[in-house]
Amino acid sequence: MYGKNSMGNKKIAASVKLGNNVVLNDFINLYGCRIDDETRIGPFVEIQKNAFIGKRCKIQSHTFICEGVTIEDDVFVGHGVMFINDKFPRATNESGLIQRESDWTVIPTLIKKGASIGSNATIMCGITIGENAFIGAGSVVVSDVPDNAIAAGNPARVIKGAGQKAKGERQKVKGKGKFQISHK
């Protein structure tokens, strides 16, 4: 299945499209996906067909990105994040046979530019996580999260809305290209 593009401990199907300067760690499984320039993929990550990862993203270890997930540029995905693409998964179809692709429909998910998803979060399908939004570690995201919001919990709820600054949030220092931490 992986043919000539297997690289040691990396399983990369011929159908994978990689941008420039993509960093791929060992023990990954990639097939039918697209990963844009300067993105880093940690070890033990699986990215399925018809998933898209933008530029300068960081995907940490043990993350599963399934078919139908679009991750825009500059997104951080923490360790062990799970994406879901089927709201009602079943092993068998109505006839009692093992389900095939034709027995269900992929429900897409969109993660917008600059979002950060904390470790061990679960992202349900059919939602959008907004630009520069933060998702707390361990959260279960079942509905849309607005741009610039901070959401956490099970189910995840917005705890800081657009434009509000959270304690400990990184803020770009004007003209310096660096970040500082707000402790307000």
Task: Kindly state the tokens that stand for 15.
Answer: 């159908």
pLDDT tens readout for residues 77-95:
999 999 999 999 999 999 9
For the segment 50-75, the average pLDDT, to the nearest whole number, is 98
pLDDT confidence of residue 160: 83
Domains annotated on the chain, with CATH: 3-89+98-181 (2.160.10.10)
Cβ proximity of 86 and 69 under 8 Å: no
- Would you say residue 184 has pLDDT above 90? no
Nearest to 68 by CA among 1, 124, 27: 124
pLDDT in tens, 3-47: 334 456 788 999 999 999 999 999 999 999 999 999 999 999 999
Share of the chain above pLDDT 70, in %: 83
What is the Cα–Cα distance from 63 to 21, expressed in whole angstroms? 20
123: three-class secondary structure by DSSP: strand
Question: What pLDDT is recorded for position 173?
Answer: 46
Q: Would the pTM count as exceeding 0.75?
A: yes
Cα–Cα distance between 77 and 88 in angstroms, integer? 24
Contacts of 97 (CB under 8 A, 6+ apart): none
What three-state secondary structure class fits 150? Answer: strand
> What distance lies between CA 22 and its chain's CA centroid?
16
Three-state DSSP string of 16-83: CEECCCCEECCCEEECCCEECCCCEECCCCEECCCCEECCCCEECCCCEECCCEEECCCCEECCCCEE
Q: Which two tokens stand for residue 58?
A: 């960081």
Is the pLDDT at 141 greater than 60, yes or no? Answer: yes
Contact 69, 109 (CB under 8 A): yes
